[in-house]
Amino acid sequence: MIAVLEKLAAAGIQILLAEMTTHFVLERSGYAALVERKDDGFGGVGAPGLLTDRGLAVLVWRGGEPFFVSKGYDQAAEAGQVSELRAFMDDLKRALGGQIS
């Protein structure tokens, strides 16, 4: 567990404080993913997205165009945001030892 925490920190990924007992919220630069809490550390990882004032907006594609979407939130995603989100997910995957499918 300590090795994973060190890898997360080295990638600039932090654990946000949240009142959830079943998941961690891992974040970097406004992008986040929910990660299942396991007795021995981290479990499965949900889809990453953009943190908004309405919660986590996931990336969806419509007609070949990217959008961040959540309940009550719908925003076109810029190419740079898509790249940053992918980089966040890649770094998260490396830090968690490839647990992301």
Q: What is the pLDDT of residues 4-45, one digit of tens each?
A: 999 999 999 999 988 899 999 999 999 999 999 998 889 999
pLDDT of residue 98: 57
Closest CA to 47 of 1, 96, 92: 92
Q: Over range 45-72, report the average pLDDT.
A: 96
Give the three-state DSSP class for 53. Answer: coil
Closest of 76, 40, 36, 71 to residue 57, by C-alpha: 71
Closest C-alpha among 42, 45, 15 to residue 28: 15
Mean pLDDT of 74-101: 90
Predicted TM-score (pTM) above 0.85: yes
**List of E strands, the chain:** 14-16, 23-28, 31-38, 41-45, 49-52, 55-62, 65-70, 73-76
Digit-coded pLDDT (tens) for 65-78: 999 999 999 999 99
What average pLDDT does this structure show over 71-98? 95
